[in-house]
C-alpha cells in the first residue's frame, strides 16, 4: 500500500487511500463509476459539512456565526443528490456485507446501507484523516518491539491479503493497539445528545437527575482517564484491551 502511495505522490503530487471502501463495501469506486472515484471525497465533504458546521468553533464574524450557522439544523436537500449517488454505490457493490449484517446482526438492507455510509463518511474518511497520523506517529516512535509484534500477527492471519472486518476480529493485538490509541487520542473528544426521557445518570460515587429535553455533553478524554476504570490511565499500554 505504501509503495503505491509513494508512487502516486511522486507522479501526481497526491494519493488516494482506497482501502476503506474496498474493505468495508467490498468494491473499488473506480470500477463502479469514474465520477465517484474522482469526486467521492468531495461528496462526502459536502455531506459532512452541514452535520459538523453547527458545532464547529469559529471566532470570526461573531455574533453572526452563532445566529446563522450554529442555531439551526441544515436541510437534507442540500446534499440529497450526492448522498443518493453514494448510497447507490453501497447498495450495488455491498452484497456480501449485507448478507453478513443480516445473519450476524439482524440488520435490514436499508439500515446497513446507511450505517456503512456513516462508517465510510465519518469513521473511515473523516475520523481516519485525523486519527491515522496519530496512529502512525505512535507506532513510529515505539521502541518496545510493538511494530514486530503487530507485523507478525497480521502476517499470521492475513498473509499477503488485505485485512478485512472478519480477519481483524482475529487480531487481538491490532485491536488493542487501535483501542488504546483511541483511548488517549479520541478524534472526536466531545459528544452531545439530548435526553429523550427522564433518567438517572450514575457515576462511581454520585448520581445526576436528567430531565427530558436537556442537552448533555460528554468529554471523552476525561472518561478515558478515569483511574477507577483504567489502570495507569496516563500511560500507553498497547496490550490493555487484549482479552476484553
**Given pLDDT bands bounded at 50, 70 and 90, which one contains residue 151?**
very high
Are 17 and 51 in the same domain? yes
- Tell me the average pLDDT across 109-132: 81
User: Which domain range does residue 200 map to?
Assistant: 189-231
Are 164 and 121 in the same domain? no
Residue 30 to residue 61: CA distance in whole angstroms: 41
Per-residue pLDDT at 20: 54
Residue 11 domain flag: yes
* Choice among 29-43, 113-127, 174-188 with the minimum mean pLDDT: 29-43
Residue 135 domain flag: no
Are 118 and 64 in the same domain? yes
**Given pLDDT bands bounded at 50, 70 and 90, which one contains residue 32?**
low
Residue 7 domain flag: yes
Most confident residue range from 13-17, 42-46, 196-200, 201-205: 196-200
Are 119 and 158 in the same domain? no
Residue-wise pLDDT for 37-74, tens only, equals 777 778 888 888 887 777 777 777 888 888 877 777 78
Q: Is 209:149 a contact under the CB 8 Å cutoff?
A: no
Are 118 and 200 in the same domain? no
Amino acid at each position: 500500500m505504501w509503495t503505491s502511495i509513494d508512487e502516486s505522490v511522486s507522479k501526481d503530487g497526491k494519493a488516494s487511500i482506497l482501502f476503506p471502501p474496498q474493505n468495508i463495501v467490498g468494491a473499488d469506486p473506480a470500477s463502479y463509476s469514474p465520477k465517484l472515484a474522482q469526486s467521492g471525497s468531495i461528496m462526502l465533504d459536502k455531506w459532512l459539512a452541514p452535520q459538523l458546521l453547527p458545532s464547529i468553533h469559529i471566532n470570526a464574524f461573531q455574533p453572526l456565526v452563532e445566529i446563522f450557522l450554529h442555531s439551526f439544523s441544515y436541510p437534507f436537500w442540500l446534499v440529497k443528490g450526492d448522498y443518493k449517488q453514494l448510497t447507490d454505490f453501497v447498495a450495488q457493490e455491498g452484497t456480501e456485507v449485507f448478507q453478513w449484517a443480516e445473519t450476524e446482526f439482524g440488520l435490514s438492507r436499508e439500515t446497513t446501507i446507511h450505517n456503512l455510509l456513516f462508517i465510510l463518511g465519518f469513521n473511515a474518511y473523516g475520523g481516519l484523516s485525523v486519527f491515522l497520523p496519530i496512529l502512525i506517529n505512535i507506532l513510529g516512535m515505539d521502541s518496545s518491539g510493538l511494530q514486530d509484534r503487530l507485523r507478525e500477527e497480521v502476517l499470521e492471519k492475513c498473509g499477503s491479503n488485505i485485512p478485512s472486518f472478519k480477519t481483524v476480529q482475529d487480531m487481538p493485538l491490532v485491536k488493542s493497539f487501535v483501542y488504546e490509541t483511541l483511548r488517549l487520542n479520541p478524534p472526536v473528544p466531545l459528544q452531545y445528545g439530548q435526553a429523550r426521557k427522564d433518567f438517572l445518570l450514575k457515576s462511581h460515587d454520585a448520581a445526576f437527575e436528567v430531565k427530558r429535553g436537556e442537552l448533555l455533553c460528554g468529554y471523552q478524554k476525561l472518561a478515558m482517564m478515569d483511574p477507577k476504570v483504567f489502570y495507569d490511565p496516563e500511560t500507553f499500554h498497547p496490550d490493555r484491551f487484549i482479552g476484553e
